[in-house]
Amino acid sequence: MTFSPPSILTINPASPASRAGLRQGDKILTCNGLPVRDWVDLLATSSSSVISLSISRGPLRRIVNLKRRPGVHWGIELSGSSARSCRNKCIFCFIDQQPPGLRSTLAVKDDDVRYSFINGTYITLTARQTDEAISRGFSSLHVSVQTTDPVLRGRMLGLPGPVEILPHIDKLAEKGIEVLAQIVEVPGWNNGKVLENTISDLFNRDNVTTLGVVPVGLTKWRTGLEPLTRPTRNQAEQTLAVIDRWRQKAINHKGTPWIYPADEFYVIADKEIPAMDFYKESSLSANGIGLIAKMMNQCAHKEFAGNGVILTGAMAAPFITGILQGSDYSVVPVTNALMGPMVSVAGLLSGRDVINTANEYKDPFNQVFLPDAMFNHDGISLDEYTVESIQERIGKKVTVTDSIGNLL
């Protein structure tokens, strides 16, 4: 692969880069003597408090030294920092079934091996991504597998012809690169025997160190898309049984549980959520795996003396109600009118649905608690409401919390 030196897009005022005299448009050639292809290289080579950059400005080249205090950002944004877009047309793609009017960032389809390594986002794992991961010395990748059957995988990714996955995983194994895998289970496509075969194939590859299985997410905005269904109770029970068998086999042969189902499977199957020990080696909470167990574990034996109304997703509401039983808190599930009733997680609640639910609630209350999962890092909901705008429309104090255990 060939790379062009990245250009500086912006420089933050009063930053080390600004004080050193760097300018927008400067190209960064090296950092501490090592080539810089993009922001990942700069991140990897600039962890110290002093760095030396070789830059080009038009025909001129120069060396610039930057100094910073601990925790201070260098103040540089490079070209090519945005995530590379996904070219697949997956039958289950959540972005393709979103309603209009959401934050623009929610429409970004990414499939970037760099972000998979740095931020843990899931990639398809193409031959090009495999080669880049090896050339850059990445140590681990998050890979969305779906199925190891090439023909079926091609169909699920919406691509013409078969799409291999195992040869790429094996190539990564030769270089000692770990794979954290995920299967999005779609009933009628990759469940049942197909799921068994996929798990078996991944189980036999030592560099696949963990596997999460999550149910397909569907909204009411699927007009013109492939008809899909959510797992039924019976199908969820069957999937949990398959996962449990492989979990026991993994414990016996690998010394680790290895495979983990999403919390939603237990809710759909109306089965008890496992204790926290079940998930102790899992790092897949961002996939909705072990979140309920973590919440219940944090709140065990805690007494809640405060009061207010907790608005949350329909999936978590019954569990939070059980935790707060006997307290002065009320738990109200929010029906997701924006996305549709099949979407029940707190992270996909809209500001409008929260406002409507709060205003329809009849009992007296002085304070509303909302899950922080429904807001991005800038405190904006998916339909662009802020905490302040929600509070204004409810007419009550709104508090955002990242854990029920933080309540008084």
**pLDDT, mean of residues 220-234:** 96
The two tokens of residue 301 are 């034996």
Order of all β-strands in the sheet with 60-67? 34-35, 27-31, 50-57, 60-67
172, pLDDT greater than 80: yes
Which pLDDT does position 280 carry in this prediction?
77
Backbone angles phi, psi at 167, to 5 degrees: -60, -35
* Ramachandran region, residue 301 (left: φ > 0; alpha: ψ -120 to 50; beta: rest): left
- pLDDT recorded at residue 105: 84
What are the two backbone dihedrals, phi and then psi, of residue 156, each rounded to the nearest 5 degrees? -70, -30
Rounded Cα distance between 266 and 193, Å, is: 20
Helix 192-203 × helix 233-254 angle, to 10°:
20
pLDDT at site 240: 98
Which residue bears the tokens 């597998």? 145
Q: In 253-290, which positions are buried (b, 16+ CB within 10 angstroms) versus exposed (e)?
A: eeeebbbbbbbbbbbbbeeebeebeebeebbbeebbbb
So what's the pLDDT on residue 106?
87
Look up residue 261 and give its amino acid. Answer: P
| Predicted structure pTM score | 0.90
* Cα–Cα dist 271/292, whole Å: 13
* Average pLDDT rounded to a whole number, residues 85-111: 92
Same fold: 8-78 with 95-294: no
pLDDT in the model for residue 320: 95
What's the CATH architecture for 8-78? Answer: Roll (2.30)
Indicate the burial class of 363 (C-beta count within 10 angstroms; 0-12, 13-18, 19 or more): exposed
Indicate whether 1 pLDDT > 70: no
What's the distance, CA 97 to chain centroid?
Answer: 17
CATH assignment, 299-406: 3.40.50
If you classify domain 95-294 with CATH, what class do you get?
A: alpha beta
Contact 345, 335 (CB under 8 A): no
Domain ranges of the chain: 8-78, 95-294, 299-406
- pLDDT for res 226: 96
Mean pLDDT for 48-57 is: 95
Is 2's pLDDT higher than 90? no
Average pLDDT, the chain: 94
pLDDT at 127 over 70: yes
Give, in degrees to the nearest 5, the angle at Cα 351 between 347 and 355: 125
Which three-class secondary structure string do you get for 205-230? CCCEEEEEEEECCCCCCCCCCCCCCC
- pLDDT at residue 282 in the model: 76
Confidence band for 406, pLDDT divided at 50, 70 and 90? confident
What per-residue confidence (pLDDT) applies to 104? 86
pLDDT in tens, 9-36: 999 999 999 999 999 999 999 999 999 9
Q: What pLDDT score was predicted for residue 133?
A: 95
